[in-house]
């Protein structure tokens, strides 16, 4: 089932020439993953750490990739915080991170088997949640040591050993894998692995040293990157408008447009409604187009479509034809 969260409009009315102007609107896009309509509360847990008695492989990997042993355990919690902050403010959803939010996993990039569904249901019921989101794996590294080793090998093979140059840029990398469990349908709603990177430059200081919080920042961004899959996005669209008409009604058009410039859309709408009854077909068509824009700004897309169609079908305004098609698409995704 589609779930779109309506975004508040960001408006900027601009006069592009003497007779026309436009308004910029945030146009919603569907999320990558549409959650079932019954899901509003999500409990979040961390399953990325290995059992205490199985740390050998993790330590070896830490040395090989330049990690600080044990740092992934702390950074993975920042990954959860990124999810929490990324969804904070969306009225449709609420995320809970319970005190006992750590489960044992593989401690590597290898995905563990699915959690037992009885456990999933118990966890959701205990936290009054509709779904369980699990950070299944978390692994990080930087290219500090890998670059030094590569440069050293190439130097030896070339027969001209040299002292490796200090790095001027460091890249932190975090790979995280997620699963969202639906306890009632016993289905996986989403499974996704993300690769997040942050680059740190020397900035003229000679040697690039990542700041102390480099890993936690990269992990935090990884969490925000994941949760964006579940939320609608937006992009800006331009809606053309008429700021003036012809003949004796020119001044009334200008007054209505000035109301829109200060976001007094109802006042603009009242004046354009009067102008839509004009005996001058050009003015009536322009007023209908402006009425359509006003209704979209006010959140009534069906009325906006009605007036956009009217501007073209009854008065031949070509902007109305194109605008009607854009509104049909918007209504279809919402």
Is residue 103, in this structure, part of any structural domain at all?
yes
Final residue before a domain boundary, out of 216, 231, 246: 231
> Are residue 143 and residue 266 in the same domain, yes or no?
no
Q: Give the pLDDT confidence score for residue 79 in this predicted structure.
A: 92
What digits encode the pLDDT tens for the residues 47-61? 998 876 655 444 444
> Are residue 277 and residue 288 in the same domain, yes or no?
yes
> Are residue 143 and residue 167 in the same domain, yes or no?
yes
Query: Which residues fall within 8 angstroms of residue 131, CB to CB, at 6 or more apart?
Result: 35, 39, 41, 42, 43, 124, 180, 181, 182, 183, 189
Final residue before a domain boundary, out of 212, 231, 250: 231
> Are residue 227 and residue 242 in the same domain, yes or no?
no
Q: 184 is written with which tokens?
A: 């009632």
> Are residue 180 and residue 268 in the same domain, yes or no?
no
Is residue 5, in this structure, part of any structural domain at all?
no
Is residue 2, in this structure, part of any structural domain at all?
no
Instruction: Give the angle 275-280-285 at the CA atoms, nearest 5°.
Output: 60
> Are residue 220 and residue 125 in the same domain, yes or no?
yes
Give the percent of the chain with pLDDT over 70: 76
Q: Is the pLDDT of residue 31 over 50?
A: yes
What's phi and psi for 23, nearest 5 deg?
Answer: -120, 140
> Are residue 85 and residue 209 in the same domain, yes or no?
yes
Q: Give the pLDDT confidence score for residue 172 in this predicted structure.
A: 76
> Are residue 162 and residue 218 in the same domain, yes or no?
yes
Is residue 76, in this structure, part of any structural domain at all?
yes
> Are residue 221 and residue 238 in the same domain, yes or no?
no
How high is the mean pLDDT of the chain? 82
Q: How far apart are alpha carbons 317 and 323 in whole angstroms? A: 10
86 or 30: which leads in pLDDT: 86
> Are residue 169 and residue 313 in the same domain, yes or no?
no
What digits encode the pLDDT tens for the residues 79-119? 999 999 998 888 889 999 998 888 888 888 889 999 999 99
Is residue 8, in this structure, part of any structural domain at all?
no
Number of domains present in the structure of the chain:
2
CATH number at residue 82: 3.40.50
286: left (phi over 0), alpha (psi -120 to 50) or beta: alpha
Structural domain containing residue 166: 41-231
């Amino acid at each position: 089932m589609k779930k779109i969260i309506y975004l508040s409009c960001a408006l900027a009315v601009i006069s592009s020439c003497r007779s026309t102007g436009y308004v910029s609107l945030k146009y919603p896009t569907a999320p990558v993953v549409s959650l079932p309509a019954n899901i509003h509360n999500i409990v979040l847990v961390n399953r990325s750490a290995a059992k205490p008695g199985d740390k050998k492989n993790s330590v070896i990997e830490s040395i090989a990739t330049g990690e600080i042993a044990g740092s992934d355990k702390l950074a993975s919690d920042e990954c959860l915080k990124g999810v929490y902050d990324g969804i904070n403010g969306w009225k449709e959803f609420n995320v809970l991170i319970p005190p006992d939010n750590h489960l044992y996993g593989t401690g590597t990039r290898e995905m563990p088997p699915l959690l037992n569904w009885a456990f999933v249901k118990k966890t959701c019921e205990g936290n009054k949640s509709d779904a369980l989101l699990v950070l299944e794996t978390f692994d990080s590294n930087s290219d500090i040591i890998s670059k030094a080793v590569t440069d050293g090998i190439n130097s030896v093979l070339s027969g001209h050993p040299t002292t490796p140059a200090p790095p001027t840029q460091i890249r932190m990398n975090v790979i995280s894998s997620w699963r969202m469990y639906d306890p009632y349908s016993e289905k996986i709603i989403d499974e996704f692995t993300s690769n997040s990177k942050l680059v740190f430059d020397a900035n003229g200081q000679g040697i690039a040293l990542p700041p102390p919080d480099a890993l936690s920042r990269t992990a935090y961004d990884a969490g925000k990157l994941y949760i964006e899959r579940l939320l609608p996005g937006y992009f800006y669209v331009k809606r053309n408008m008429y700021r003036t008409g012809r003949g004796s009604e020119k001044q009334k058009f200008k007054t209505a447009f000035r109301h829109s410039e200060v976001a007094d859309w109802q006042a603009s709408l009242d004046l354009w409604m009067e102008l839509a009854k004009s005996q001058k077909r050009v003015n009536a068509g322009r007023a209908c187009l402006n009425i359509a824009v006003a209704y979209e700004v006010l959140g009534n897309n069906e009325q906006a479509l009605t007036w956009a169609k009217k501007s073209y079908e009854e008065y031949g305004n070509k902007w109305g034809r194109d605008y009607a098609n854009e509104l049909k698409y918007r209504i279809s995704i919402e």
